[in-house]
C-alpha cells in the first residue's frame, strides 16, 4: 500500500514538493486555504482548509490515514504541524523547536547559551518604548526587525535614532505580538545554507550566495549556487551550521540557515526548520547539485534516510525582475516560451495588467524571476541578465 504524505500548502512554491511525492510513489494529500491553489491540479487529493484550522486538519489526517507531514518554505503552518505531529505521532520538530526557530529573540538566546556567534540584540516588547537609553550599548547603524516575521518583511537598516523611529511602526506591523528586535549591523557577505538532518546527523547540501536590495531594505533579489568561497570558508560555515542546528535541537528536518562571513569570522543570522524559500531548496539546488531536497524532506517525514550524495557540481542562479515602481502595468505579452529557452530552469511573473508596480520593500513585492543553470558562474550570470531583459520586454509599462 502506498504511503500517504500530508503537504501543507499548494501554492507555486509547493509544486515541486507535490511532484516529488509522485517521484517517490507517495500519495499526496494537499491542504491549502486557497480553494484554487495551483497545487490542486497535480495533487492526488486536495482539501480546502483554513490556515489555522487545527481540528479540520486533524480530521483530514485521520480520514486519509496519513503517514507523514511536510511543507516547503511555508512558515505559518509550522506550529500547527508540530502540534499535529505530537498528537498523532508524526516525525516533525517539536513545538518548542519550532518556536525557537520562528522567534528571533528565543533563537538568539539559544545561540548565546550554546556559544554560537550571532549579532548582539535586544527585544523591545509591544508595550515598550524604544528609547536612546535602551540602546546605549549599541552603535549605529542598526537593524530593526519583527520578532517573528519572514521574507524580509519589516527588516530595515537604520543609521540613526530618527530613522529607527521612522521604521518602528512598519516593523512592528509584521510582528505577531508587535514586538521587535534591534540588533547590531553586521558587515560582511551574506550566504544561506541548505541542509538535511536525519536522526541527528546533518548533511550540508549547498551554500548559496545572496544578492539583496540597497538599504534600508534587505530584500533578496538574487541567489547564486554554489557560493564563491574558499575551502577554509566552506569549512568554517559547515562547522557553524552544524553547531547551530544542534543547539536548536533539530534532529529530523530540512533546514535553511542564513549567516554572514565577517572579518572576525562567521556570524549566524537565523535558521528555519524547513526547506528554503525563493525556490532555493527546490529548483536552484536541484539544478546545481542534481539532489532533490523535496524528496529528501518527504523521506525524512516518512522515517526514511534521505539521499545526500550530490550528483554533479553545476551553477544555478535565480534573478528577480526589478521594474520601476509607480508605473502601471499595461499589456503583458505571452512570456511563457521563456521557460523553454536553453538553460532556463523556470520563470514566473507575479504582476498583473493594471497593477501599479510597488517598491520592493519585502519579498512579496517582487514582480517576477528567472532561474537558469549552466557550467560556469559567469555563464549563469550572463544568461540570467539576458533572460531578465527578455522577460521585461514582454511587459508594457505606463507612467502613473
Residues 176-186: tens digit of each pLDDT? 999 999 999 99
Task: Answer yes or no: do 308 and 212 share one domain.
Answer: yes
Interval 70-96 mean pLDDT? 96
| pLDDT of 400 | 82
Q: What are phi and psi of 254, to 5 degrees?
A: -70, 160
Interval 345-357 mean pLDDT? 96
Q: In what order do the strands lie in the sheet with 27-32?
A: 45-48, 27-32, 4-8, 68-70
Task: Answer yes or no: do 283 and 358 share one domain.
Answer: no
Interval 281-305 mean pLDDT? 98
| pLDDT of 74 | 87
- For residue 33, whether the previous peptide bond is cis, meaning omega lies within 30 degrees of 0, is no
Interior/surface letters 51-85, b for 16+ CB within 10 angstroms, e for the rest: eeeeeebbebbeebebbbbbbbbbbebbebbbbbb
What distances in angstroms separate CA 255 from CA 15, 274, 286, 300, one per listed residue?
Answer: 19, 5, 16, 12
With beta carbons less than 8 A apart as the criterion, state whether 92 and 253 touch: yes
Domain CATH code at residue 15:
3.40.50.20
With beta carbons less than 8 A apart as the criterion, state whether 232 and 165 touch: no
Q: Tens digit of pLDDT for each residue in 228-246? A: 999 999 999 999 999 999 9
Rounded CA gap, 20 and 324, in Å? Answer: 37
pTM for the full model? 0.94
Quick one: what percent of the chain has pLDDT higher than 70?
100
Closest CA to 283 of 322, 319, 241, 242: 319
Domain final position from 73, 92, 111 = 92
Domain final position from 252, 281, 313 = 313
Domain span at 64 = 4-92
Task: Answer yes or no: do 227 and 290 share one domain.
Answer: yes
Helix (H) or strand (E) holding 192, with range, is: strand 189-198
Q: In what order do the strands lie in the sheet with 344-349?
A: 265-272, 253-262, 189-198, 201-212, 220-225, 315-320, 368-374, 344-349
Interval 57-84 mean pLDDT? 96
Burial grade of 316 (CB within 10 A; 0-12, 13-18, 19 or more): buried
Q: What are phi and psi of 346, to 5 degrees?
A: -165, 155
What is the residue-averaged pLDDT of the chain? 96
Interval 281-293 mean pLDDT? 97
Count the domains in the chain: 4
With beta carbons less than 8 A apart as the criterion, state whether 259 and 126 touch: no
Domain final position from 286, 313, 340 = 313
| pLDDT of 269 | 95
Task: Answer yes or no: do 174 and 192 share one domain.
Answer: no
| pLDDT of 273 | 96
Interval 367-377 mean pLDDT? 97
**Is 49 within a domain?**
yes
Query: Residue 149: pLDDT above 90?
Result: no
Task: Answer yes or no: do 81 and 126 share one domain.
Answer: no
Interval 107-131 mean pLDDT? 96
**Is 259 within a domain?**
yes
| pLDDT of 171 | 95
**Is 111 within a domain?**
no
What distances in angstroms separate CA 285 from CA 141, 193, 267, 309, one per listed residue?
Answer: 34, 10, 23, 13
| pLDDT of 38 | 96
Question: Which DSSP letter does residue 71 get?
Answer: -
Rounded CA gap, 266 and 306, in Å? Answer: 28
**Is 106 within a domain?**
no
Q: Tens digit of pLDDT for each residue in 1-14? A: 899 999 999 999 99
Take residue 165 and report the three cell numbers written for it. Answer: 523611529
Task: Answer yes or no: do 193 and 208 share one domain.
Answer: yes
Query: Residue 73: pLDDT above 90?
Result: no
Interval 304-320 mean pLDDT? 97
Interval 376-395 mean pLDDT? 97
Query: Residue 151: pLDDT above 80?
Result: no
Q: pLDDT band at residue 253, thresholds of 50, 70 and 90? A: very high
Q: pLDDT band at residue 259, thresholds of 50, 70 and 90? A: very high
| pLDDT of 329 | 97
Task: Answer yes or no: do 196 and 300 share one domain.
Answer: yes
Domain CATH code at residue 206:
3.30.470.20
Alpha helices in the chain (DSSP H): 15-23, 54-63, 78-88, 95-102, 104-114, 161-173, 231-248, 285-289, 293-301, 377-393
- For residue 220, whether the previous peptide bond is cis, meaning omega lies within 30 degrees of 0, is no
Amino acid at each position: 500500500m502506498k504511503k500517504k504524505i500530508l503537504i501543507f500548502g499548494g501554492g507555486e512554491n509547493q509544486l515541486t514538493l507535490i511532484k516529488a511525492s509522485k517521484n517517490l510513489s507517495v500519495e499526496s494529500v494537499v491542504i491549502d486555504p486557497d480553494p484554487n491553489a495551483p497545487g490542486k491540479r497535480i495533487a492526488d487529493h486536495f482539501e480546502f482548509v483554513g490556515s489555522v484550522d487545527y481540528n479540520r486538519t486533524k480530521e483530514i489526517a485521520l480520514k486519509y490515514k496519513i503517514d507523514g507531514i511536510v511543507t516547503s518554505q511555508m512558515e505559518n503552518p509550522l506550529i500547527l504541524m508540530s502540534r499535529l505531529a505530537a498528537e498523532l505521532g508524526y516525525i516533525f520538530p517539536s513545538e518548542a523547536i519550532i518556536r525557537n526557530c520562528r522567534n528571533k529573540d528565543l533563537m538568539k538566546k539559544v545561540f548565546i547559551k550554546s556559544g554560537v556567534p550571532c549579532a548582539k540584540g535586544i527585544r523591545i516588547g509591544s508595550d515598550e518604548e524604544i528609547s536612546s537609553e535602551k540602546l546605549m550599548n549599541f552603535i549605529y547603524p542598526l537593524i530593526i526587525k519583527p520578532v517573528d516575521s519572514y521574507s524580509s518583511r519589516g527588516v530595515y537598516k537604520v543609521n540613526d535614532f530618527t530613522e529607527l523611529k521612522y521604521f518602528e511602526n512598519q516593523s512592528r506591523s509584521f510582528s505577531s505580538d508587535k514586538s521587535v528586535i534591534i540588533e547590531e549591523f553586521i558587515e560582511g557577505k551574506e550566504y544561506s545554507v541548505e541542509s538535511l538532518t536525519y536522526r541527528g546527523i546533518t548533511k550540508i547540501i549547498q551554500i548559496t550566495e545572496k544578492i539583496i536590495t540597497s538599504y534600508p531594505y534587505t530584500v533578496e533579489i538574487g541567489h547564486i549556487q554554489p557560493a564563491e568561497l574558499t575551502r577554509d570558508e566552506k569549512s568554517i560555515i559547515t562547522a557553524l551550521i552544524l553547531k547551530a542546528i544542534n543547539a536548536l535541537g533539530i534532529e529530523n528536518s530540512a533546514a535553511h540557515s542564513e549567516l554572514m562571513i565577517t572579518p572576525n569570522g562567521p556570524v549566524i543570522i537565523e535558521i528555519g526548520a524547513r526547506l528554503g524559500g525563493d525556490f532555493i531548496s527546490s529548483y536552484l539546488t536541484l539544478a546545481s547539485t542534481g539532489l532533490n531536497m523535496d524528496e529528501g524532506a518527504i523521506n525524512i517525514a516518512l522515517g526514511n534516510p534521505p539521499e545526500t550524495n550530490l550528483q554533479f557540481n553545476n551553477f544555478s542562479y535565480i534573478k528577480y525582475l526589478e521594474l520601476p515602481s509607480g508605473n502601471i502595468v499595461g499589456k503583458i505579452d505571452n512570456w511563457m516560451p521563456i521557460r523553454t529557452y536553453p538553460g532556463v530552469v523556470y520563470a514566473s511573473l507575479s504582476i498583473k495588467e493594471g497593477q501599479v508596480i510597488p517598491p520592493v520593500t519585502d519579498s512579496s513585492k517582487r514582480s517576477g524571476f528567472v532561474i537558469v543553470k549552466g557550467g560556469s558562474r559567469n555563464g549563469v550570470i550572463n544568461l540570467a541578465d539576458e533572460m531578465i531583459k527578455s522577460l521585461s520586454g514582454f511587459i508594457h509599462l505606463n507612467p502613473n
